[in-house]
Amino acid sequence: MAIPTVKLISVATPKIPEASAGRSALPSRSIAPYSSPPTDLRWSRVEEFFRSRELRPNTHKSYKRAFRAFLSWTDKGWQDITARDIDRYKEYLKALPSERGGQRCSKSGLRPSPATINLALSALQSLFKWLCARDYIAKDPMLLLEMPKPDPVQPQEWSADEVRRLFAATQQRGQTAQRDRALLWVLLHGLRAREVEALNLADFDGQRLHIREAKDDSVGQVPLLPEAIAALQGYLCARGEEVGSESPLFVSESNNSKGQRLSYWGIYKVVKDLASIAGVEDSHPHRGRHTVATQMVSRGMNPLLARQITRHKSEKSFERYSQRALQIQAEEQFLQLFADRQDRETVGDEDTIADEHENAIQLEAVAEEPSNWPQVKPVAMPLNEIDVVRVYQLKITLLGVRPKVWRRIQVQETMTLAQLHSVLQAVMGWEGYHLHEFPISEDETLTLAALIGDELFSFSYLYDFGDMWQHEIEVEKRLASEPGNCYPVCLAGKRACPPEDCGGDWGYAHLLKVLKNPRHPEYRERKEWVGRGFNPKAFDLKEVNQALRELELQSAGATR
Q: Is residue 53 part of a domain?
A: yes
Is residue 164 a part of any domain in this protein?
yes
User: Does residue 498 lie in a domain region?
Assistant: yes
Residue 99 has pLDDT above 60, yes or no: no
The number of folded domains in the chain is 3
Domain co-membership, 75 together with 195: no
Question: Is residue 361 packed enough to be buried (19+ CB in 10 Å), middle (13-18) or exposed (0-12)?
Answer: exposed
Task: List 423's β-bridge partners, or say none.
Answer: none
Residue 65: inside a domain, yes or no?
Answer: yes
d(C-alpha 364, C-alpha 277), whole Å: 65
Give me the long-range contacts of 326-332 (CB less than 8 A, separation at least 24). 328/294, 328/298, 329/298, 332/402
d(CA 498, CA 536) in angstroms, rounded, equals: 7
Q: In sequence order, which residues have a C-beta less than 8 Å from that of residue 5 and are 6 or more positions away?
A: none
- Containing H/E element for 230? helix 226-239
In terms of domains, do 458 and 316 share one?
no
- 417 and 535 in one domain? yes
Residue 314 has pLDDT above 80, yes or no: no
Last residue of a domain, one of 82, 114, 133: 133
Closest by Cα among 427, 425, 447, 449 to 435? 425
Does the pLDDT at position 361 exceed 50? no
Domain boundary residue among 331, 349, 372? 331
62 and 206 together in one domain: no
Which region among 64-68, 145-149, 254-258, 412-416 has the lowest average model confidence (pLDDT)?
145-149
Looking at 285, 316, 331, which one is the last position of a domain? 331
Local structure of residue 380 (DSSP, 8 states): -
| pLDDT of amino acid 150 | 52
Residues forming a β-bridge with 462 = 437, 470
Residues 6+ positions from 517 with CB-CB distance below 8 Å: 523
Type of residue numbered 207: Q
Query: Based on the domain organization, do 246 and 122 belong to the same domain?
Result: no
CB-side exposure of 186: number of CA atoms within 13 Å? 31
- Round to whole Å and give the CA distance between 302 and 191: 19
Contact 258, 252 (CB under 8 A): yes
According to the model, what pLDDT value does residue 383 have? 33
Mean pLDDT value of segment 490-507? 91
Is 148 a domain residue?
no
User: Are residues 231 and 316 both part of a single domain?
Assistant: yes
Do 180 and 76 share a domain, yes or no? Answer: no
Same-domain status, 555 and 467 = yes
**Residues 400 and 519 reside in one and the same domain:** yes
pLDDT band at 216 (very low <50, low <70, confident <90, very high): low
Does 110 share its domain with 169?
Answer: no
Cα–Cα distance measured from residue 432 to residue 513, given in angstroms and rounded to the nearest whole number: 26
The boundaries of the domain holding residue 213 are: 160-331
CATH of the domain at 298: 1.10.443.10
Residue positions counted in the chain = 560
Burial class (CB in 10 A: 0-12, 13-18, 19+), 282: exposed
Tell me which H or E stretch contains 458.
strand 458-463
DSSP 158: P
What confidence score (pLDDT) does residue 368 get? 41
Give pLDDT, residue 299. Answer: 76
Residue 319 belongs to a domain: yes
Looking at the fold, whether 122 and 175 belong to one and the same domain comes out as: no
| pLDDT tens, position by position, 242-298 | 677 788 999 998 888 888 999 988 999 999 999 999 999 888 898 898 888 888 877
Confidence at residue 4, expressed as pLDDT on a 0 to 100 scale: 58
Give the CATH number, domain containing residue 437: 3.10.290.30
Query: CA 535, CA 522: separation in Å to the nearest integer?
Result: 17
129 and 170 assigned to the same domain: no
Task: Flag the least confident range among 29-38, 281-290, 498-507.
Answer: 29-38
